[in-house]
Structure 1
Amino acid sequence: MSLLKQIFTWWNGQTIGTRFHTWRFGKKVGEDQFGNVYYQGGGTDSEGRTRRWVIYKGYAEASAIPAGWHGWMHHRTDVSPADEDYKPREWQKEHRPNPTGTAQAYRPPGSLAAPGERPRVTGDYDAWTPRG
Structure 2
Amino acid sequence: MAQTFRDRFIQVFSWWQGTTFGTSFTTWLRGEFVGEDEYGNRYFRSKDGKIDPVLGFERRWVIYKGVADSTMIPPGWYGWMHHLRDVAPVNDTYRPKEWQKPHQPNLTGTPQAHRPLGSILRPDPEAKISAGYDAWSPE
Q: TM-score range by the shorter chain?
A: 0.7 to 0.9
Q: CA deviation at 1:56?
A: 0.3
SS at match of 1:18: helix
Does residue 125 of structure 1 match 2:139?
no
Cα separation, 1, equivalents of 2:106 and 2:16: 15
Q: CA deviation at 1:44?
A: 1.9
Cα separation, 2, equivalents of 1:109 and 1:124: 15
Cα separation, 2, equivalents of 1:11 and 1:93: 25
**Any gaps of 5 or more consecutive residues in structure 1?**
none
Cα separation, 2, equivalents of 1:107 and 1:78: 40
Does residue 34 of structure 1 match 2:34?
no
Among candidates 47, 54, 60, match of residue 55 of structure 2: 47
| Count of aligned pairs | 128
| 1:11 aligned residue | 16
Letter in 1 for 2:17: N
Alignment of 1:1-132 (within 5 A): 2-41=7-46, 44=52, 46-116=54-124, 117-119=126-128, 122-127=133-138
TM-score, normalised by the number of residues in structure 2: 0.82
Q: CA deviation at 1:13?
A: 0.7
For residues 3-49 of structure 1, what are the alpha-carbon distances to aligned partners after superposition, in whole Å with 9 as ceiling and x for unaligned?
Answer: 11111111111001100110001111100000000000065274311
TM-score, normalised by the number of residues in structure 1: 0.86
Percent of pairs identical after alignment? 48
4+ runs deviating over 3 angstroms: 120-124
Deviates more, 1:80-89 or 1:95-104: 95-104
Letter in 1 for 2:86: D
The structure where helix makes up a greater share of residues is 2
Letter in 2 for 1:119: K
Q: CA deviation at 1:120?
A: 6.9
Q: Pairwise CA RMSD of aligned residues?
A: 2.1
**Cα pair distance change 1:79/1:5, threshold 3 Å:** same
**Any gaps of 5 or more consecutive residues in structure 2?**
none
